[in-house]
Amino acid sequence: MQTDRAAPVRAAAPQLVTRALRSVQATIERSGGYVVNTSCTVNTPHPPTITDKSLLVPEQTAPTIGDRLNDAGVTWAWYSGGWNNAVLGHADPLFQFISPFARRGFVDHTQYDTTSILKFIEERWNLEPLTDRDARGGDLLSAFDFSQSS
């Protein structure tokens, strides 16, 4: 992580987030190295527009990372119906940041996907990647200017 772009640290927030995420990471059930999912059955069809099945996260079974996040007291949301039909990209091709540190008038033409949000959190708090997919993702740091005061 580049220290010149690091967000300001607020009290115990980084330690609390780090502890919660490490707790979740330590208890995630995995199958073949992937986070498992219960929100959809293994019979759920993949999105019909996807022809390259290598872009899909393999279908899995219980328990979910969401269950682990809930147990750790972390609020979360996933809007695509589950991890087993997640593909690179997102239905909304636009990430919008509402933050005092967001770069004003900045348009980033880098290709990101939903795991870029996770990558950003991992980079910011120096956490190990949960999967190869988020390890390879973009981290969204270019969308922020942490050198300015809030």
At position 112, the amino acid (one-letter code) is Y
Among 39, 59, 86, the domain boundary falls at 86
Among 86, 110, 129, the domain boundary falls at 86
> Residue 144 phi/psi, 5° resolution?
-125, 155
The model's pTM: 0.38
User: How many domains, the chain?
Assistant: 2
Return the H-helix or E-strand segment holding 30.
strand 30-31
Counted residue by residue, the chain has a size of 150
Residue 140 and residue 97 share a domain: yes
pLDDT tier at 102, thresholds 50, 70, 90: confident
Classify residue 100: in a domain, yes or no: yes
Q: What is the mean pLDDT of residues 79-94?
A: 46
Widest Cα–Cα separation across the chain = 50
Q: Which domain holds residue 94?
A: 88-150
Predicted pLDDT of residue 45: 46
Classify residue 121: in a domain, yes or no: yes
pLDDT tier at 97, thresholds 50, 70, 90: confident
pLDDT digits (tens, 9 = 90+) for 41-60: 334 444 445 555 555 555 54
* 30-31 and 34-35 strand pairing: antiparallel
DSSP state of 28: -
Residue 148 and residue 130 share a domain: yes
At position 141, the amino acid (one-letter code) is L
Residue 95 and residue 33 share a domain: no
